[in-house]
Structure 1
Amino acid sequence: MRKIALITLLSLPLFAGFFPQTVHTSIKSVKENAITLNSKFPVNGMSGIVIHNYGNDLTAITSRITQTSSDGSAALVSADILYHENLPTIKTAVSPKDKVIGGYLYNNVLLLAPDADTYAKITSQHTKKWIHPDLFALYLSVEGEEKPTKENLSHFAKKYQVGLVYIVRKNSAVLLDPISGKIVSQKSMTSLPEKGNFPFYMRFEALDSGWFGSKTEGNYYNTMESL
């Protein structure tokens, strides 16, 4: 009876609920640009890092990949792991037996919400390392960006080690993997404000530099639907 219960437990999905769990696996095979994992990620679009062992206890993150098919097929996303212009780019190719961490930094979450109440409610419901949107607002201001895009979210995520972007939309919430640019989870939401703060909730009313210093207006929900 205990064995049956254990088998049932082990057969459950790798994640239950909204947040996919981090997965530790390895590279099974590599053929040109086609990568196969020994154990698949729980959802397609989930990104991960590849760790190569050089021997003598020396390892390094060499690449980013994303799962493209539920059979464990993956593709190379980028090799710009070290986010610093003065550091060399690692050129080690992905190889069989390289270790893989799927959902790398998925516990670090940036939340884009329509207002302070929604932000507080969500962050109180989940134990995550929440990256405050103030930091993203400052980043956009310095970069001179007008609103969130998949491109600037990807750059921000690499620079500030963000694993997921929790996006509140009109009647739903989605989790965006900023590295792959894919939605990896979604659910319905109710009791949201009719109109959200543009471009998203933050504690700044205005900044002295960039577009935040002007009276730029827009629609929060339309902006979030575009991501």
Structure 2
Amino acid sequence: MHKIALIALLSLPLFAGFFPQTVHTSVKSVKGNTITLNKKFPINGMSGVVIHNYGNDLTAITSRIAQTSSDESIALVSKDILHHDELPTIKTPVSPKDKVIGGYLYNNVLVLAPDADTYAKITSAHHKKWIHPDLFALYLSVEGEEKPTRENLARFAKKYQVGLVYIVRKNSAVLLDPVSEKIVSQKSMTNLPAKGVFPFYMRFKKRGSGWFGSDVEGNYYNTMESL
């Protein structure tokens, strides 16, 4: 009985609670766009970054990666880490012994909630660097987008260094990794409003897009279920 309990305990994810923890490991081998780590990430869908050491205390993030299977296989997602017209693009390939941080920027979280009360409860319950949803609402307005999608969340996350998107759905909450576009955690939620109002929580009055302050394609929860 004790042996069964121990096996069950060891099979649990390697993080406590709703938020996955940052993981530090290194590259074991590289074959094309598939990378094997010395220690796998605790959950599929977790993304991370590869850090190359150039010597003389000079290091740089060279690539984004995401775990795609239950073994140590990692997929190369992008080498476009930082784009600036005045800076050269890093072209260093991923190499064995490169350091890896899984869950990079996971402490930076954007919340999409149905109302201000739910937003306040979430942000007061956890110590995170909260990216205010007003910023995302303004981003969509400037981009001329009518509703959130995984694609515009990925673009927004890259621009504003968002590690996770906390999405409140009907009776539940999920954490979306915007780099891998995969759900990395979920839990049930109660006492949510019956009807959510876009755009989650607003601190400015004037906005350019017509969908703000009203339901889109049915209601808030339908849109959140599609993410």
C-alpha distance in structure 2 between counterparts of 1:205 and 1:220, whole Å? 20
The two structures have a TM-score, normalised by structure 1, of: 0.90
Q: 2:172 and 2:214 mapped to 1: Cα distance?
A: 26
Offset at residue 205 of structure 1 (A):
4.2
Deviation by residue 1:3-43 (Cα, 9 ceiling, x = unmatched)? xxxxx9x9674211100000010000001122101111110
State the match for 1:3 in structure 2: none
Secondary structure of 1:223's counterpart equals: helix
CA distance in structure 1 between the aligned counterparts of 2:220 and 2:104, rounded to whole angstroms: 29
d(CA) in 2 for partners of 1:215 and 1:192?
18
TM-score by length of 2: 0.90
| Alpha-carbon distance in 1 for matches of 2:86, 2:198 | 35
CA RMSD of aligned residues (A): 2.1
State the AA in 1 paired with 2:48.
G
Q: Deviations over 1:189-216 (max 9, x none)?
A: 1110000012423233441x3x148776
What is the distance in 1 between the residues matched to 2:213 and 2:187? 33
User: Structure 1 CA distance, aligned partners of 2:137 and 2:31?
Assistant: 41
Structure 1 window deviating more from structure 2 (82-91 vs 29-38): it is 82-91
On the 8 A contact 2:33/2:76 being kept in 1, the answer is yes
Residue 110 of structure 2 aligns with an amino acid whose one-letter code is: L
Structure 1 residues 82 and 68, CA gap change in structure 2 (3 angstroms): same
CA contact (8 A) 1:47 1:65 kept: yes
For residues 95-174 of structure 1, the aligned pairs below 5 Å read 95-174=95-174
Partner-residue secondary structure (3-state), 2:71? coil
Equivalent position of 2:3 in the other structure: none
Map 1:198-213 → 2, pairs under 5 A: 198-207=198-207, 209=208, 211-212=209-210
Q: CA deviation at 1:68?
A: 1.0
Unaligned runs of 5+ in 1: 1-7
Q: CA 1:215 to 1:166, structure 2 compared with 1: closer, same or farther past 3 Å? A: closer
CA distance in 1, matches of 2:211, 2:203: 14
For the Cα contact (< 8 Å) 2:13–2:43, is it kept in 1? Answer: no
Mapped partners of 1:19, 1:215: distance in 2: 29
Q: Distance in 1 between matches of 2:38 and 2:179?
A: 21
1:146-171: per-residue Cα shift (whole Å, max 9, x none)? 11111111111111111000000011
Aligned residues: 218
Q: Which amino acid aligns with 2:64?
A: R
**Once the two structures are superposed, what CA deviation does each residue of 1:40-90 show, in whole Å capped at 9, x if it has no partner?**
111000000000111122111000000112222100111110043443221
Task: Give me the whole-angstrom Cα distance separating, in 1, the residues matched to 2:13 and 2:140.
Answer: 37
Tell me whether 1:223 sits opposite 2:207 in the alignment: no
Q: Secondary structure at the match of 2:15?
A: coil
**What's the counterpart of residue 56 of structure 1?**
56
Q: 1:117 to 1:153 in 2, by over 3 A?
A: same
User: For the residues of structure 2 that align with 1:117 and 1:182, how far apart are their CA atoms?
Assistant: 27
Q: Is the 8 A contact 1:26 1:38 kept in 2?
A: yes
Distance 1:85 1:196, change over 3 A: farther
Share of identical aligned residues, percent?
82
Provide the secondary structure at the position in 2 that maps to 1:166.
Answer: strand
Which residue identity does 1:143 align to in structure 2?
Answer: E
Q: What is residue 28 of structure 1 aligned with on the other side?
A: 28
Q: Is the contact between residue 137 and residue 199 of structure 2 (CA under 8 Å) also seen in structure 1?
A: no
